[in-house]
Every structure is written in structure tokens, then in C-alpha cells.
């Protein structure tokens, strides 16, 4: 967004959600028109055709382009790690950020393979959010500032945004968000994350149940759920997804944790994720149910559960391919190919 958002009051996010721009139906019509002329049987590119329409709708452009895709990885630390909820120590968040910078992580290789930009945003890693079983993650100003930071990350003219994260302990935070918003039991939403053993899983379930019980009726207000049991990278991802809508940048969301950030927006306004695809179904078991509740059909289902935007970036390669096919193919007339029934 062009203006500085720092200092945006917490409640202003509610009004932003109430005035979301809609799709560009003219651009969608142009894509459909061109698609009918391309040298292929109608419908033969299956869901790829839908991805091109989706890109056009939210870029406001036909043909849509995927020339400058960006993977944004938001990193945060979580006080809940003190409860023994992860298979890895909290220090791994910072170490993995260094690995991203050095080019050694999975996401680096995906970005090199497909020529995607990569930006890593580390959010006060030295300052974990409080243990959410005991205290709120943020005060209102802190939550708003972190969402605004995420919004400001959507600058620089990307034409597709891939949202990913890194944060030891954050599958516990994500599970608490789903449990708060969607009910059920803690068991329904908790999985093994980076690979906790059975004792770790039991600690995780207890932590999620305690965090959600602590906030009581506040669970009915999605923005309060984010403030009270969220985390820095999750608030920043919610801000980035929201800003992308206003900046005409379609978004591809990664797995279990990135989807939890998106879910906050969806719970505030059901159309808030219309400019988003869910890149893949994570192997974290509750992700499938979370995605079902968003009414989304994920691009890929590869059994991945890494995070760092990796599944969504693989999906972005599919979407980039779809855009290239649509923009580059010859028409029947151009290629001198006979049309159906001619």
C-alpha cells in the first residue's frame, strides 16, 4: 500500500475487511474469449484454465502475467515452545532464517528452479510472543503494527504473492486458532508439526485447549482470536494477504500455519480470500478440514508438511505455467489449425 500503515488502529482492520475490492469480470471475460480461440479442444487444460481466469480477475488484467512472482516468508518465535510442543528447539527459527539468507533451504531451491523472487521477513525473533496459555500474544497496538508490517511487505510490484512462514511452535498456535474459530476439540486440530512424539502431542493438545479456554467468549471475534492467541508471523501474513487484495496481487497460501492466518480474514469476511488459492494440502492432518471450511480446492496434494512457503511455491509453478500457456499459445486462425466440426 502506498501510504504508511504504521499506527493504523486495531479496529481499522475491521473496516478494511468491510470494503474489499471485487474481481475484474471484464478481464475474466477476455480470458474466456481468448481461451476459446486457442489451439486446443475446449476445456482440455482442465483446472489450469480456471487458474488463468482467477489471475485475470484479481490482477485486473487480460492476459494475466506471472513475470514477477514473489515468495514472502514471515518468521516469528513463540513463547508456547516452553511447554514442549515442538520436536525442535526454538533456536531453529533464527537458524533457518540464516539458512534462507545463505540459500540452503528447500524454498531457496524452488525459487531458483522456477525463477521466483524470495523475501524473508523476520519479526522480532529475539522477542517471542508470550506463552498463549498464560497471556495474550499482543496488545491491540502490537497486533495492528504487526499486521501493518505484513501489509507493507506487499510492495515492489510483484504479480503473484506466495505466502509462507517459519516459526518453531507455530503449528500449536495455528491449531489454537482453528480450534477457537471452528470449535470441536483440541484433538481435532492438533497434529505432530515437525514430528513430536506421543508425549509431545499430548502437551500440544493440552496447550491448545488451555489457550482457547483462557480467551473465553473472545473466540467469537476473529480479530481478537488473532490478537490473543496468534503470533507475529501469523498476524503479518494476515496483513499481507489483505494488502494484496487492495494491490491487485493474487495470493497463493501455503500449508497449515499460513492457512490459519488466512482463516482469520475469512472469519471476518467470507469473501476475503477470493483472491487466494490454497497452494497445497499439508500432511498436518487437520489442514484438510480447515481448507474444506474455507470452501477451497487446493492446487496440489503432495504430502508435504515443511512450511516456509514450499508447497505454495510449487503450486505457483503450476499457475505460472498456466499463465504462460494462455498468453503464448497460437489461435486456430494464427496456426492454420481446423476448428471443431469445420
Query: Which residues of this chain interact with ligand DMD, rule CB under 6 A?
Result: 88, 92, 96, 166, 194, 306-308
Q: Which residue has the cell 494491490?
A: 247
Q: Is 171 in the site for ligand NCN (CB under 6 A)?
A: yes
**Segment contacting ligand NCN by CB under 6 A, of 53-61, 134-142, 154-162, 165-173:** 165-173
Q: Does the footprint of ligand NCN cover residue 131 (CB under 6 A)?
A: no
The reply on whether position 79 binds ligand NCN by CB under 6 A is: no
The x, y and z cell numbers of residue 318, run together, are 503450476
Inter-residue contact 228 to 173 (CB < 8 Å) = no
Among positions 59, 99, 129, 194, the unique one binding ligand NCN when judged by CB under 6 A = 194
Known active-site residue 49: no
Nearest to 32 by CA among 50, 46, 7: 50
Catalytic option among 49, 233, 308, 339:
308
- Rounded to whole angstroms, the Cα distance separating 31 from 63 reads 6
Contact partner, 245, from ligand NCN, ligand DMD, none, Cβ < 5-8 Å per class: none
Q: Which residue has the cell 482467477?
A: 54
Query: Which of 189, 171, 215, 194 lies closest to 78 in space, CA to CA?
Result: 171
- Cβ proximity to ligand NCN: between 249 and 286 the closer is 286
Under rule CB under 6 A, residue 263 binds ligand NCN:
no
In the bound state with ligand NCN, the residue whose beta carbon lies nearer, of 63 and 193, is 193
The DSSP-derived string for 254-318 is -SHHHHHHHHHHHHH-TTTTTTEEE-B--SSTTHHHHHHHTT---SB-------TTHHHHHHHHH
- The window from 139-147, 170-178, 213-221, 270-278 that contacts ligand NCN (CB under 6 A) reads 170-178
Q: Which 31-70 positions form the footprint of ligand NCN (CB under 6 A)?
A: none
Provide the minimum distance between the beta carbon of 39 and ligand NCN in the complex, in angstroms, as a whole number: 39
The set of long-range contacts for 15-19, using a CB threshold of 8 Å and a minimum separation of 24, is: 16/242, 16/246, 17/242, 17/265, 17/268, 17/269, 17/272, 18/269
Nearest of 132, 129, 128 to residue 213 by alpha carbon:
132
99 binds ligand NCN (CB under 6 A): no
**Binding at 170: pick from ligand NCN, ligand DMD, none (beta carbon under 5-8 Å per type):** ligand NCN
- DSSP label at 70? E
> Which residue lies nearer to ligand NCN by CB, 131 or 308?
308
Instruction: Report the residue from 245, 275, 305, 326 that binds ligand NCN according to the rule CB under 6 A.
Output: 305
| Contact flag: residue 165 with ligand NCN (CB under 6 A) | yes
165 DSSP β-pair partners: 74
* Rounded Cα distance, 121 and 76, in Å: 9
Minimum CB separation from ligand DMD for residue 281, in Å?
17
Q: Which of 274, 322, 330 is nearest to 52 (CA)?
A: 322
User: Shortest gap between Cβ of 124 and ligand DMD (angstroms)?
Assistant: 18
> What is the smallest separation between the CB atom of 219 and ligand NCN, expressed in angstroms?
21
Catalytic positions, written as ranges? 308
Residues that bind ligand NCN (CB under 6 A): 86-88, 165-172, 193-194, 254-257, 282, 284, 287, 305, 307-308
Amino acid at each position: 500500500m502506498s501510504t504508511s500503515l504504521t499506527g493504523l488502529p486495531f479496529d481499522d482492520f475491521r473496516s478494511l475487511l468491510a470494503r474489499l475490492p471485487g474481481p475484474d469480470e471484464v478481464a475474466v471475460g477476455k480470458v474466456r474469449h481468448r481461451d476459446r480461440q486457442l489451439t486446443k479442444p475446449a476445456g482440455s487444460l482442465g483446472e489450469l484454465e480456471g487458474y488463468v481466469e482467477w489471475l485475470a480477475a484479481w490482477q485486473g488484467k487480460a492476459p494475466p502475467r506471472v513475470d514477477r512472482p514473489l515468495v514472502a516468508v514471515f518468521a516469528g518465535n513463540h513463547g508456547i515452545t516452553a511447554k514442549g510442543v515442538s520436536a525442535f528447539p526454538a533456536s531453529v527459527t533464527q537458524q533457518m532464517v540464516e539458512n534462507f539468507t545463505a540459500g540452503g533451504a528447500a524454498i531457496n531451491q524452488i525459487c531458483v528452479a522456477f525463477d521466483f523472487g524470495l523475501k524473508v521477513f523476520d519479526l522480532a525473533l529475539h522477542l517471542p510472543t508470550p506463552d498463549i496459555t498464560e497471556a495474550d500474544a499482543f496488545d491491540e497496538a502490537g497486533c495492528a503494527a504487526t499486521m501493518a508490517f505484513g501489509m507493507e511487505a506487499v510492495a515492489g510490484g510483484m504479480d503473484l504473492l506466495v505466502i509462507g512462514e517459519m516459526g518453531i511452535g507455530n503449528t500449536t498456535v495455528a491449531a489454537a486458532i482453528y480450534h477457537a474459530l471452528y470449535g470441536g476439540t483440541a484433538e481435532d486440530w492438533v497434529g505432530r508439526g515437525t514430528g513430536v512424539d506421543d508425549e509431545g502431542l499430548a502437551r500440544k493438545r493440552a496447550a491448545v485447549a488451555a489457550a482457547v479456554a483462557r480467551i473465553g467468549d473472545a473466540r467469537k471475534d476473529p480479530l481478537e482470536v488473532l490478537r490473543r492467541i496468534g503470533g507475529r508471523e501469523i498476524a503479518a501474513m494476515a496483513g499481507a494477504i489483505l494488502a494484496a487484495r487492495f494491490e491487485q496481487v493474487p495470493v497463493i497460501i501455503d500449508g497449515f500455519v499460513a492457512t490459519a492466518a488466512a482463516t482469520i480474514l475469512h472469519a471476518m469476511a467470507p469473501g476475503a480470500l477470493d483472491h487466494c488459492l490454497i497452494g497445497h494440502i499439508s500432511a498436518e492432518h487437520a489442514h484438510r478440514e480447515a481448507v474444506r471450511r474455507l470452501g477451497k480446492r487446493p492446487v496440489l496434494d503432495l504430502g508435504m508438511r515443511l512450511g516456509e512457503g514450499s508447497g505454495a511455491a510449487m503450486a505457483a509453478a503450476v499457475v505460472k505455467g498456466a499463465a504462460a500457456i494462455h498468453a503464448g499459445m497460437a489461435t486456430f486462425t494464427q496456426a492454420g489449425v481446423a476448428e471443431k466440426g469445420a
